[in-house]
Structure 1
Amino acid sequence: MSEIAVLFEGYSVMSGKDEMIANCSCTLVRGDHNIIVDTMTSWDSEKIINALKQFDITPEDIHYVVSTHGHSDHIGNNNLFLKAKHIVGFSVSHKDKYYSHAFDKGEEYTINQSVKVLPTPGHTLSDVTVVVRSKDGETVAITGDLFEKLEDIENPNIWLEAGSDDPVVQIKHRAKVAEIADQIIPGHGPQFK
Protein backbone atom coordinates (compact mmCIF):
# COMPACT_ATOMS: atom_id res chain seq x y z
CA MET A 1 0.00 0.00 0.00
CA SER A 2 1.08 3.55 -0.63
CA GLU A 3 1.01 6.86 1.21
CA ILE A 4 -0.22 9.92 -0.65
CA ALA A 5 0.72 13.51 0.11
CA VAL A 6 -0.58 16.46 -1.86
CA LEU A 7 2.50 18.70 -1.88
CA PHE A 8 0.61 21.59 -3.48
CA GLU A 9 -3.08 22.04 -4.27
CA GLY A 10 -3.74 23.27 -7.76
CA TYR A 11 -5.74 26.40 -8.53
CA SER A 12 -7.13 28.28 -11.52
CA VAL A 13 -8.91 31.64 -11.62
CA MET A 14 -9.60 34.03 -14.45
CA SER A 15 -7.77 37.29 -13.76
CA GLY A 16 -8.92 39.17 -16.83
CA LYS A 17 -10.63 38.70 -20.16
CA ASP A 18 -7.72 36.78 -21.69
CA GLU A 19 -5.69 35.83 -18.63
CA MET A 20 -5.79 33.05 -16.08
CA ILE A 21 -3.72 32.46 -12.97
CA ALA A 22 -3.20 28.71 -12.61
CA ASN A 23 -0.94 25.96 -11.39
CA CYS A 24 -1.56 22.24 -11.05
CA SER A 25 -1.76 20.00 -8.02
CA CYS A 26 1.54 18.27 -7.27
CA THR A 27 1.30 14.93 -5.46
CA LEU A 28 3.83 12.58 -3.88
CA VAL A 29 3.10 8.85 -3.66
CA ARG A 30 5.38 6.87 -1.33
CA GLY A 31 5.53 3.10 -1.11
CA ASP A 32 7.31 0.42 -3.11
CA HIS A 33 8.18 3.26 -5.49
CA ASN A 34 8.39 7.00 -4.86
CA ILE A 35 6.28 8.76 -7.48
CA ILE A 36 5.66 12.42 -8.16
CA VAL A 37 2.56 13.30 -10.17
CA ASP A 38 2.55 16.62 -12.08
CA THR A 39 5.53 18.89 -11.47
CA MET A 40 3.92 22.33 -11.75
CA THR A 41 5.41 25.26 -13.69
CA SER A 42 9.10 25.80 -14.42
CA TRP A 43 9.26 28.47 -11.73
CA ASP A 44 8.37 26.04 -8.92
CA SER A 45 11.53 23.91 -8.64
CA GLU A 46 12.60 25.23 -5.22
CA LYS A 47 9.07 24.78 -3.86
CA ILE A 48 9.06 21.12 -4.92
CA ILE A 49 12.57 20.41 -3.59
CA ASN A 50 11.67 21.98 -0.23
CA ALA A 51 8.38 20.11 -0.02
CA LEU A 52 10.14 16.78 -0.66
CA LYS A 53 12.63 17.55 2.14
CA GLN A 54 9.73 17.40 4.61
CA PHE A 55 9.53 13.67 3.75
CA ASP A 56 13.33 13.17 3.75
CA ILE A 57 13.17 12.68 -0.02
CA THR A 58 15.38 14.24 -2.68
CA PRO A 59 14.72 14.29 -6.42
CA GLU A 60 17.16 11.37 -6.74
CA ASP A 61 14.83 9.26 -4.57
CA ILE A 62 11.94 9.51 -7.06
CA HIS A 63 11.44 6.37 -9.16
CA TYR A 64 8.64 7.63 -11.44
CA VAL A 65 7.45 11.02 -12.64
CA VAL A 66 3.94 10.95 -14.05
CA SER A 67 2.68 14.00 -15.91
CA THR A 68 -1.02 13.53 -16.46
CA HIS A 69 -0.64 15.43 -19.74
CA GLY A 70 1.90 17.59 -21.50
CA HIS A 71 0.71 21.11 -20.61
CA SER A 72 3.36 23.46 -19.21
CA ASP A 73 1.79 23.70 -15.75
CA HIS A 74 2.08 19.90 -15.35
CA ILE A 75 5.60 19.22 -16.69
CA GLY A 76 7.60 22.26 -15.60
CA ASN A 77 10.05 20.48 -13.30
CA ASN A 78 10.35 17.01 -14.80
CA ASN A 79 14.06 17.71 -15.32
CA LEU A 80 14.63 17.65 -11.54
CA PHE A 81 14.09 13.87 -11.54
CA LEU A 82 16.87 12.49 -13.71
CA LYS A 83 16.97 8.99 -12.21
CA ALA A 84 13.23 8.46 -12.64
CA LYS A 85 11.27 6.81 -15.42
CA HIS A 86 8.94 9.43 -16.91
CA ILE A 87 5.38 8.93 -18.05
CA VAL A 88 4.12 12.05 -19.83
CA GLY A 89 0.62 11.40 -21.08
CA PHE A 90 0.93 8.29 -23.25
CA SER A 91 4.75 8.55 -23.53
CA VAL A 92 6.98 6.36 -21.31
CA SER A 93 10.71 7.09 -21.27
CA HIS A 94 13.96 7.01 -19.35
CA LYS A 95 16.77 9.19 -20.66
CA ASP A 96 16.79 8.62 -24.44
CA LYS A 97 14.91 5.30 -24.33
CA TYR A 98 11.22 5.26 -25.15
CA TYR A 99 9.04 2.29 -24.25
CA SER A 100 5.97 1.17 -26.12
CA HIS A 101 2.81 0.92 -24.09
CA ALA A 102 -0.69 0.59 -25.50
CA PHE A 103 -2.35 3.45 -23.61
CA ASP A 104 -4.03 4.30 -26.92
CA LYS A 105 -5.71 0.88 -26.84
CA GLY A 106 -6.95 1.39 -23.27
CA GLU A 107 -4.21 -0.59 -21.51
CA GLU A 108 -3.29 0.32 -17.93
CA TYR A 109 0.37 0.72 -16.95
CA THR A 110 1.16 -1.01 -13.66
CA ILE A 111 3.88 0.58 -11.53
CA ASN A 112 3.36 -1.79 -8.59
CA GLN A 113 0.59 -3.63 -6.74
CA SER A 114 -0.91 -0.41 -5.37
CA VAL A 115 -0.27 2.05 -8.23
CA LYS A 116 -1.41 1.98 -11.84
CA VAL A 117 -1.71 4.55 -14.59
CA LEU A 118 -4.93 4.59 -16.64
CA PRO A 119 -5.43 6.21 -20.02
CA THR A 120 -8.14 8.86 -19.54
CA PRO A 121 -8.13 11.06 -22.65
CA GLY A 122 -10.47 13.96 -23.06
CA HIS A 123 -8.80 17.14 -21.81
CA THR A 124 -6.00 16.15 -24.19
CA LEU A 125 -6.04 13.03 -26.31
CA SER A 126 -3.22 11.51 -24.23
CA ASP A 127 -4.30 12.26 -20.65
CA VAL A 128 -3.63 9.70 -17.92
CA THR A 129 -4.84 9.24 -14.34
CA VAL A 130 -2.81 7.69 -11.52
CA VAL A 131 -4.88 5.32 -9.36
CA VAL A 132 -3.44 4.50 -5.94
CA ARG A 133 -4.60 2.02 -3.33
CA SER A 134 -3.69 3.92 -0.16
CA LYS A 135 -2.53 2.54 3.19
CA ASP A 136 -5.97 3.22 4.67
CA GLY A 137 -7.59 1.07 1.97
CA GLU A 138 -9.07 3.89 -0.09
CA THR A 139 -8.67 4.20 -3.84
CA VAL A 140 -7.35 7.65 -4.73
CA ALA A 141 -7.35 8.94 -8.31
CA ILE A 142 -4.85 11.67 -9.20
CA THR A 143 -6.59 12.94 -12.31
CA GLY A 144 -4.83 15.99 -13.65
CA ASP A 145 -7.34 18.01 -15.65
CA LEU A 146 -9.80 15.17 -16.22
CA PHE A 147 -11.39 16.91 -13.21
CA GLU A 148 -10.39 20.57 -12.84
CA LYS A 149 -11.91 20.91 -9.35
CA LEU A 150 -14.91 19.75 -7.33
CA GLU A 151 -17.06 22.57 -8.65
CA ASP A 152 -16.85 21.23 -12.20
CA ILE A 153 -19.12 18.33 -11.24
CA GLU A 154 -22.06 20.71 -10.71
CA ASN A 155 -20.89 23.13 -13.39
CA PRO A 156 -19.42 21.30 -16.43
CA ASN A 157 -18.62 24.66 -18.04
CA ILE A 158 -15.58 24.82 -15.73
CA TRP A 159 -13.87 21.82 -17.32
CA LEU A 160 -15.20 22.58 -20.78
CA GLU A 161 -13.86 26.16 -20.68
CA ALA A 162 -10.51 24.87 -19.39
CA GLY A 163 -10.27 23.04 -22.70
CA SER A 164 -11.28 19.59 -23.83
CA ASP A 165 -9.98 17.97 -26.99
CA ASP A 166 -12.83 15.45 -26.83
CA PRO A 167 -15.66 16.29 -24.38
CA VAL A 168 -17.60 13.07 -25.12
CA VAL A 169 -14.60 10.89 -24.27
CA GLN A 170 -13.79 13.08 -21.26
CA ILE A 171 -17.31 12.56 -19.86
CA LYS A 172 -16.86 8.79 -20.26
CA HIS A 173 -13.53 8.79 -18.40
CA ARG A 174 -14.80 11.14 -15.69
CA ALA A 175 -17.62 8.65 -15.00
CA LYS A 176 -15.22 5.69 -15.01
CA VAL A 177 -12.84 7.35 -12.54
CA ALA A 178 -15.68 8.57 -10.29
CA GLU A 179 -16.94 4.99 -10.13
CA ILE A 180 -13.64 3.46 -9.01
CA ALA A 181 -12.27 6.24 -6.75
CA ASP A 182 -13.05 6.99 -3.11
CA GLN A 183 -11.09 10.26 -3.36
CA ILE A 184 -10.10 12.44 -6.32
CA ILE A 185 -7.12 14.78 -6.47
CA PRO A 186 -8.05 17.11 -9.34
CA GLY A 187 -5.73 19.20 -11.47
CA HIS A 188 -6.68 22.60 -10.08
CA GLY A 189 -8.38 22.28 -6.70
CA PRO A 190 -8.40 20.48 -3.35
CA GLN A 191 -8.88 16.73 -2.96
CA PHE A 192 -12.52 15.62 -2.67
CA LYS A 193 -14.65 12.51 -2.05
Structure 2
Amino acid sequence: MSDLFVLFNGYSKMSSDKEMLANCSCSLIIGQHNIIVDTMTAWDSDKIIKALQFHNILPNMINYVISTHGHSDHIGNNNLFLHAKHIVGFSISYKERYFLHAFDQGERYSINESVEVLPTPGHTLSDVTVLVKTNEGTVAVAGDLFENSEDIETPSIWKSAGSENPILQRKNRLAVAEIADWIVPGHGSKFKVTQEIIDSLRTQLVD
Protein backbone atom coordinates (compact mmCIF):
# COMPACT_ATOMS: atom_id res chain seq x y z
CA MET A 1 0.00 0.00 0.00
CA SER A 2 0.99 3.61 -0.53
CA ASP A 3 -0.12 6.83 1.14
CA LEU A 4 -1.60 9.54 -1.07
CA PHE A 5 -1.80 13.19 -0.09
CA VAL A 6 -3.45 15.88 -2.19
CA LEU A 7 -1.06 18.77 -1.65
CA PHE A 8 -3.24 21.28 -3.49
CA ASN A 9 -6.76 21.10 -4.89
CA GLY A 10 -7.05 22.34 -8.44
CA TYR A 11 -9.54 24.94 -9.63
CA SER A 12 -10.76 26.52 -12.85
CA LYS A 13 -13.12 29.45 -13.36
CA MET A 14 -13.71 32.28 -15.77
CA SER A 15 -12.79 35.68 -14.35
CA SER A 16 -13.89 37.63 -17.43
CA ASP A 17 -14.85 37.05 -21.05
CA LYS A 18 -11.18 36.80 -21.99
CA GLU A 19 -9.51 35.42 -18.88
CA MET A 20 -9.65 32.21 -16.88
CA LEU A 21 -8.10 31.43 -13.50
CA ALA A 22 -6.84 27.85 -13.32
CA ASN A 23 -4.36 25.55 -11.65
CA CYS A 24 -4.23 21.79 -11.34
CA SER A 25 -4.45 19.46 -8.38
CA CYS A 26 -1.04 18.34 -7.12
CA SER A 27 -0.64 15.01 -5.32
CA LEU A 28 2.12 13.24 -3.41
CA ILE A 29 2.41 9.47 -3.18
CA ILE A 30 4.64 8.02 -0.46
CA GLY A 31 5.46 4.33 -0.40
CA GLN A 32 7.96 2.06 -2.11
CA HIS A 33 8.61 5.07 -4.35
CA ASN A 34 8.01 8.77 -3.70
CA ILE A 35 5.95 10.19 -6.54
CA ILE A 36 4.57 13.63 -7.33
CA VAL A 37 1.68 13.92 -9.77
CA ASP A 38 1.07 17.16 -11.71
CA THR A 39 3.40 19.96 -10.67
CA MET A 40 1.15 23.00 -11.24
CA THR A 41 2.31 26.20 -12.95
CA ALA A 42 5.88 27.47 -13.15
CA TRP A 43 5.07 30.07 -10.48
CA ASP A 44 4.29 27.49 -7.80
CA SER A 45 7.73 26.10 -6.98
CA ASP A 46 7.93 27.61 -3.48
CA LYS A 47 4.46 26.30 -2.62
CA ILE A 48 5.36 22.78 -3.73
CA ILE A 49 8.68 22.74 -1.87
CA LYS A 50 7.00 23.88 1.36
CA ALA A 51 4.24 21.31 0.99
CA LEU A 52 6.79 18.55 0.48
CA GLN A 53 8.75 19.69 3.52
CA PHE A 54 5.61 19.20 5.62
CA HIS A 55 5.87 15.50 4.71
CA ASN A 56 9.66 15.46 5.29
CA ILE A 57 10.30 15.11 1.55
CA LEU A 58 12.96 17.03 -0.38
CA PRO A 59 12.84 17.34 -4.19
CA ASN A 60 15.81 14.98 -4.58
CA MET A 61 13.83 12.31 -2.70
CA ILE A 62 11.18 12.10 -5.43
CA ASN A 63 11.61 8.97 -7.57
CA TYR A 64 8.94 9.67 -10.19
CA VAL A 65 7.30 12.79 -11.57
CA ILE A 66 4.05 12.04 -13.39
CA SER A 67 2.24 14.66 -15.44
CA THR A 68 -1.17 13.38 -16.46
CA HIS A 69 -0.74 15.39 -19.67
CA GLY A 70 1.51 18.08 -21.05
CA HIS A 71 -0.46 21.28 -20.47
CA SER A 72 1.39 24.10 -18.75
CA ASP A 73 -0.54 23.94 -15.48
CA HIS A 74 0.47 20.28 -15.02
CA ILE A 75 4.20 20.41 -15.83
CA GLY A 76 5.34 23.76 -14.47
CA ASN A 77 7.76 22.47 -11.83
CA ASN A 78 8.95 19.18 -13.28
CA ASN A 79 12.50 20.53 -13.35
CA LEU A 80 12.58 20.68 -9.54
CA PHE A 81 12.94 16.90 -9.57
CA LEU A 82 16.15 16.08 -11.42
CA HIS A 83 16.75 12.76 -9.63
CA ALA A 84 13.40 11.41 -10.78
CA LYS A 85 12.20 9.50 -13.81
CA HIS A 86 9.59 11.63 -15.60
CA ILE A 87 6.35 10.43 -17.14
CA VAL A 88 4.56 13.14 -19.12
CA GLY A 89 1.49 11.69 -20.77
CA PHE A 90 2.70 8.77 -22.87
CA SER A 91 6.36 9.87 -22.66
CA ILE A 92 8.75 8.25 -20.15
CA SER A 93 12.23 9.72 -19.78
CA TYR A 94 15.26 10.21 -17.58
CA LYS A 95 17.59 12.96 -18.78
CA GLU A 96 18.14 12.32 -22.52
CA ARG A 97 17.01 8.69 -22.32
CA TYR A 98 13.48 7.89 -23.48
CA PHE A 99 11.86 4.56 -22.64
CA LEU A 100 9.41 3.07 -25.11
CA HIS A 101 6.12 1.84 -23.69
CA ALA A 102 2.92 0.87 -25.49
CA PHE A 103 0.55 3.31 -23.82
CA ASP A 104 -0.98 3.84 -27.26
CA GLN A 105 -1.91 0.15 -27.29
CA GLY A 106 -3.65 0.44 -23.92
CA GLU A 107 -0.77 -1.02 -21.92
CA ARG A 108 -0.47 0.03 -18.28
CA TYR A 109 2.90 1.00 -16.79
CA SER A 110 3.61 -0.51 -13.38
CA ILE A 111 5.80 1.48 -10.98
CA ASN A 112 5.38 -0.90 -8.04
CA GLU A 113 2.75 -3.16 -6.52
CA SER A 114 0.72 -0.16 -5.36
CA VAL A 115 1.07 2.29 -8.24
CA GLU A 116 0.46 1.97 -11.96
CA VAL A 117 -0.11 4.40 -14.80
CA LEU A 118 -3.12 3.83 -17.03
CA PRO A 119 -3.53 5.40 -20.49
CA THR A 120 -6.79 7.42 -20.50
CA PRO A 121 -6.81 9.55 -23.66
CA GLY A 122 -9.59 12.01 -24.27
CA HIS A 123 -8.77 15.45 -22.88
CA THR A 124 -5.56 15.02 -24.87
CA LEU A 125 -4.70 11.95 -26.88
CA SER A 126 -1.87 11.08 -24.49
CA ASP A 127 -3.57 11.57 -21.10
CA VAL A 128 -2.77 9.13 -18.30
CA THR A 129 -4.32 8.35 -14.92
CA VAL A 130 -2.34 7.20 -11.87
CA LEU A 131 -3.95 4.35 -9.92
CA VAL A 132 -2.83 4.08 -6.29
CA LYS A 133 -3.70 1.31 -3.85
CA THR A 134 -4.14 2.89 -0.41
CA ASN A 135 -5.69 1.93 2.91
CA GLU A 136 -8.89 3.72 1.87
CA GLY A 137 -9.10 1.86 -1.43
CA THR A 138 -7.94 2.59 -4.96
CA VAL A 139 -7.43 6.28 -5.70
CA ALA A 140 -7.32 7.46 -9.31
CA VAL A 141 -5.34 10.65 -9.85
CA ALA A 142 -7.04 11.41 -13.12
CA GLY A 143 -5.87 14.82 -14.25
CA ASP A 144 -8.34 16.48 -16.60
CA LEU A 145 -10.14 13.26 -17.47
CA PHE A 146 -12.39 14.71 -14.76
CA GLU A 147 -12.44 18.47 -14.20
CA ASN A 148 -14.22 18.20 -10.85
CA SER A 149 -17.00 16.24 -9.18
CA GLU A 150 -19.63 18.57 -10.64
CA ASP A 151 -18.80 17.49 -14.19
CA ILE A 152 -20.50 14.12 -13.56
CA GLU A 153 -23.97 15.64 -13.71
CA THR A 154 -22.90 18.58 -15.88
CA PRO A 155 -20.76 17.13 -18.71
CA SER A 156 -20.52 20.53 -20.36
CA ILE A 157 -17.90 21.36 -17.69
CA TRP A 158 -15.35 18.83 -18.97
CA LYS A 159 -16.31 19.37 -22.59
CA SER A 160 -15.83 23.14 -22.35
CA ALA A 161 -12.40 22.57 -20.78
CA GLY A 162 -11.31 21.04 -24.09
CA SER A 163 -11.40 17.47 -25.29
CA GLU A 164 -9.41 16.15 -28.22
CA ASN A 165 -11.64 13.07 -28.34
CA PRO A 166 -14.91 13.31 -26.36
CA ILE A 167 -15.93 9.75 -27.25
CA LEU A 168 -12.71 8.32 -25.83
CA GLN A 169 -12.96 10.61 -22.82
CA ARG A 170 -16.46 9.36 -22.00
CA LYS A 171 -15.28 5.74 -22.24
CA ASN A 172 -12.24 6.34 -20.06
CA ARG A 173 -14.20 8.32 -17.48
CA LEU A 174 -16.44 5.30 -16.99
CA ALA A 175 -13.52 2.85 -17.07
CA VAL A 176 -11.71 4.74 -14.30
CA ALA A 177 -14.85 5.15 -12.18
CA GLU A 178 -15.48 1.40 -12.37
CA ILE A 179 -12.08 0.54 -10.87
CA ALA A 180 -11.53 3.45 -8.44
CA ASP A 181 -12.95 4.13 -5.00
CA TRP A 182 -11.84 7.77 -5.07
CA ILE A 183 -10.94 10.20 -7.85
CA VAL A 184 -8.61 13.19 -7.68
CA PRO A 185 -9.78 15.39 -10.59
CA GLY A 186 -7.62 17.90 -12.40
CA HIS A 187 -9.41 21.00 -11.14
CA GLY A 188 -11.33 20.13 -8.01
CA SER A 189 -11.34 18.24 -4.72
CA LYS A 190 -11.02 14.48 -4.33
CA PHE A 191 -14.38 12.74 -4.40
CA LYS A 192 -15.72 9.27 -3.63
CA VAL A 193 -17.01 7.12 -6.48
CA THR A 194 -20.59 6.01 -5.84
CA GLN A 195 -22.87 3.67 -7.77
CA GLU A 196 -24.88 6.74 -8.72
CA ILE A 197 -21.80 8.24 -10.37
CA ILE A 198 -21.08 5.02 -12.27
CA ASP A 199 -24.69 4.79 -13.44
CA SER A 200 -24.61 8.40 -14.62
CA LEU A 201 -21.39 7.84 -16.58
CA ARG A 202 -22.86 4.70 -18.17
CA THR A 203 -25.91 6.65 -19.26
CA GLN A 204 -23.76 9.37 -20.80
CA LEU A 205 -21.81 6.73 -22.73
CA VAL A 206 -24.88 5.79 -24.75
CA ASP A 207 -26.34 9.29 -25.10
Q: Same fold (TM over 0.5)?
A: yes
**Percentage of matched positions with identical amino acids:** 67
CA-to-aligned-CA distance 1:145-181 (integer Å, 9 cap, x gap): 0000000000000000000000000000000000000
Structure 2 residue aligned with 1:51: 51
Structure 1 residue aligned with 2:143: 144
Partners of 1:14 and 1:137 lie apart in 2 by 34
Partners of 1:105 and 1:16 lie apart in 2 by 41
> What secondary structure sits across from 2:159 in the alignment?
helix
Partners of 2:67 and 2:9 lie apart in 1 by 15
> What secondary structure sits across from 2:191 in the alignment?
coil
Structure 1 residue aligned with 2:39: 39
5 Å matches for 1:103-182?
Answer: 103-134=103-134, 136-182=135-181
- Unpaired runs of 5+ residues, structure 1, are none
CA-to-aligned-CA distance 1:53-93 (integer Å, 9 cap, x gap): 00110000000000000000000000000000000000000
Partners of 2:109 and 2:136 lie apart in 1 by 21
Structure 2 residue aligned with 1:90: 90
> What secondary structure sits across from 1:112 in the alignment?
coil
CA-to-aligned-CA distance 1:117-149 (integer Å, 9 cap, x gap): 000000000000000000x15000000000000
Kindly indicate whether residue 188 of structure 2 is the aligned counterpart of residue 189 of structure 1.
yes
What is the alpha-carbon root mean square deviation over aligned residues? Answer: 0.5
Partners of 1:170 and 1:18 lie apart in 2 by 26
The structural deviation recorded for 1:18 is 2.0
Partners of 1:15 and 1:124 lie apart in 2 by 24
Partners of 1:57 and 1:51 lie apart in 2 by 9
Dislocated runs of 4+, deviation >4 Å: none
The structural deviation recorded for 1:9 is 0.3
Q: What amino acid maps onto 1:108 in structure 2?
A: R
State how many pairs are aligned: 192
The structural deviation recorded for 1:19 is 1.2
> What secondary structure sits across from 2:33 in the alignment?
coil
Partners of 2:162 and 2:58 lie apart in 1 by 34
Structure 1 residue aligned with 2:79: 79
Structure 1 residue aligned with 2:201: none
Q: What amino acid maps onto 1:12 in structure 2?
A: S
> What secondary structure sits across from 1:69 in the alignment?
coil
Q: What amino acid maps onto 1:151 in structure 2?
A: E
> What secondary structure sits across from 1:46 in the alignment?
helix
> What secondary structure sits across from 2:82 in the alignment?
coil
> What secondary structure sits across from 2:171 in the alignment?
helix
> What secondary structure sits across from 1:79 in the alignment?
helix
